[in-house]
Structure 1
Amino acid sequence: MAKAQNLSMTHAKKEDTKKYKDKKQVLFHDGTKLDIDVVFRPSKKQELGVDLLKLIREKIEKLENVDGNLLTDVLTSLIVKHFTSIQVKGLESFDDHLEMYKILQDNDYLSPILQAFDPIELQTTIENTIEEANKQMNKISDDLDRILESQMESRSELNEETV
Structure 2
Amino acid sequence: MTKKEKNLSLPQVKRQNNQVYKDKKRIVLDQSKLDLDVVFRPSKVNELTAEFIGLMQQAMKEAKPFDAGAAMGLTVALVIRHFTSIETNAKTYEEHLDMLRQLKDANYLDTIMDAFELSEVERVFEEIQRSITSLTAEVDASLQKDFAADSPAGGQADA
Matches within 5 A, 1:20-39: 20-28=21-29, 30-39=30-39
Which shows bigger deviation, 56-65 or 30-39?
56-65
Give the root-mean-square deviation of aligned CA atoms: 2.1
Q: CA deviation at 1:137?
A: 3.3
Q: CA deviation at 1:85?
A: 1.1
Which sections of structure 2, spanning at least 5 residues, go unmatched? 153-159
The count of aligned residue pairs is 151
SS at match of 2:35: strand
CA contact (8 A) 1:52 1:133 kept: no
Which sections of structure 1, spanning at least 5 residues, go unmatched? 155-163
> Per-residue CA shift, 1:102-142, capped at 9, x if unaligned?
11111111111111111112112212222222321342354
Matches within 5 A, 1:4-153: 4-28=5-29, 30-89=30-89, 91-143=90-142, 149=147
CA contact (8 A) 1:22 1:39 kept: yes
TM-score by length of 1: 0.82
CA contact (8 A) 1:39 1:121 kept: yes
The verdict on how the C-alpha distance between 1:146 and 1:55 changes in structure 2, with shifts beyond 3 A counting, is farther
The verdict on how the C-alpha distance between 1:112 and 1:136 changes in structure 2, with shifts beyond 3 A counting, is same
The verdict on how the C-alpha distance between 1:131 and 1:9 changes in structure 2, with shifts beyond 3 A counting, is closer
> Per-residue CA shift, 1:62-101, capped at 9, x if unaligned?
2334111111101100010111111212x22111111011
TM-score by length of 2: 0.84
